[in-house]
Amino acid sequence: MTLPGGRSERPLAWDDLVVVGEALRAHGVDGALLVRPVTPDLSALLSLRRAFLGKDAASVRELPIAATAPCGRFAAIRFEGIDDREAASRLSGLAVLVPADEAAPLPDGRPYLFQLVGLRVESRGGEPLGEIVDVLENPGNDVWVARGPAGEYLIPAVDSIVLDVDLAARRVVIDPIPGLLPERSAPPPAGDPPA
């Protein structure tokens, strides 16, 4: 069933949410939070009317937004019910999330991290190499955890290895460098007893 405004009556789960920013610290005395966006484009944060804050599924909660304003490369966001600096300070360090279907597209058509999990991985020549099962965020570049026929391996998310991400086809094409993929173990020759 759909509620007015197009919202579903099914409660949102943590996996339905996308991180769009990080609450850094209180800003001013009226309860505003300084929020760092996940992209250089502030417009996605400034147009929010509601957001979820939390560190994990157990702590996430929805908060309507009372006001937003640009603050350099950050956004100052004041949430309803957060009316002073002390209350805002308690929210520092939390992720700011929105439902996945409300997330603004990232610049240059880049995917959100949640969109990568479950994509098939193929070599440049079309050989199936498994699928992405997790994404590890790192300062230099993200690393995608993939699982294939020979086991689990890590894909550095850099242009020299990741050739194409096609969300519509649910596929990633990579150019695996030597040593990237796990070695497939050869089956023992027929007739030899197991060691």
Say yes or no: 32 and 94 in one domain: yes
Neighbours of 2 (CB within 10 A): 9
Amino acid identity, position 136: L
Say yes or no: 97 and 9 in one domain: yes
Say yes or no: 10 and 98 in one domain: yes
Contacting residues for 28 by C-beta, under 8 A, at least 6 apart: 76, 85
Total tally of structural domains belonging to the chain:
2
Strand partners, 44: none
* 144-187 confidence digits (pLDDT tens): 999 998 899 999 999 999 999 998 899 999 999 898 888 765 55
For residue 82, pLDDT beyond 90? yes
Mean pLDDT, all residues of the chain = 85
The lowest-confidence range among 37-41, 76-80, 98-102 is 37-41
3: confidence class by pLDDT, cuts 50, 70, 90: very low
What three-state secondary structure class fits 180?
Answer: coil
In 38-189, the DSSP E strands lie at 50-54, 61-71, 74-79, 95-99, 120-123, 128-136, 143-148, 151-156, 162-166, 171-174
Question: What is the token pair recorded at 193?
Answer: 């007893």
- Max Cα separation, the chain? 79
Range of the domain at 167: 113-174
Mean pLDDT within 76-102 = 92
Mean pLDDT within 139-148 = 89
Say yes or no: 77 and 159 in one domain: no
Instruction: Specify whether the backbone of 55 is left (phi greater than 0), alpha (psi in -120 to 50) or beta.
Output: alpha
- CATH code assigned at 132: 2.30.30.240
